[in-house]
Amino acid sequence: MSPVTRATLAQTSRVLNVRVARGFATSGASRAQNQNQIYASVRRPDDFHTYQLLSSSARTPLLTLWTTSWCSTCRVVTPLIRSLVEAGVGEQEGGVAFCTIEYDAPDIMSGADGLGMTYMITAIPTLLSFDAGEAMTQTKVTDGRKLADRAFLEEWIRNEARRHGGRGGGGTGVFGGLFGGLRG
């Protein structure tokens, strides 16, 4: 890797608060690949799309918590979910990535094509998972009581982690079932 590329990669990873690994794996999931990732808060759509691409390429679901600065429930829920992800909940099932999305940030709210409109965010806080870049709206959680329930969140995270890229990108569907044995 050239010094210019290495410097650019290092600078980008510092800005996005992303861990960058240099290794290249060709088979099997290692322990390092299953570790949970926590990304910096999203205030711009570009950051969100970067996290989506990172999680999709790692075949890891991206858990997003949509918050606002004025939401008192968010101040309780955010550290709880973050602590569960940091503690490794979901790693045995394949791992997850997590970020908060600051819904009241100007770049997130702006325009009719804002992220909230795109993903049908109608309540704050909202916990929404993305797998293979696709929003898992059927498992979206908006109930504040559930979001404050540690046992519920642990099970929700584990269920989302079990997807590990199976949605959309060739999992247990028709093609994943027919050609799944070709992967090794």
CB of 96 closer than 8 Å to CB of 36: yes
C-alpha gyration radius of the chain: 17
Retrieve residue 116's tokens. Answer: 């909230």
Mean pLDDT of 150-172: 78
User: Which three-class secondary structure state does DSSP give residue 64?
Assistant: strand
Q: Tell me the pLDDT of the chain averaged across its residues.
A: 80
Confidence (pTM): 0.73
Q: Which of residues 8 and 105 earns the better pLDDT score?
A: 105
List residues bridging with 153 in a β-sheet.
none
| Res. 51: pLDDT tops 70 | yes
15-39 burial: b if 16+ Cβ within 10 Å, else e: ebebeeeeeeeeeeeeeebbebbbb
Q: Which of residues 26 and 125 earns the better pLDDT score?
A: 125
Position 22 scores a pLDDT of 47
Mean pLDDT of 95-103: 96
Span 32-166: which CATH code? Answer: 3.40.30.10
pLDDT band at 82 (very low <50, low <70, confident <90, very high): very high
| Res. 166: pLDDT tops 70 | no
Percent of the chain with pLDDT over 90: 60
Residue for token pair 């969140």: 153
Q: What type of residue is 52?
A: Q
Query: Alpha-carbon distance 142 to 66, whole Å?
Result: 10
Query: Alpha-carbon distance 54 to 42, whole Å?
Result: 14
The strand order across the sheet containing 97-102 reads 37-38, 97-102, 62-67, 126-131, 134-135
Q: Which of residues 69 and 23 earns the better pLDDT score?
A: 69
CA end-to-end span of the chain = 30
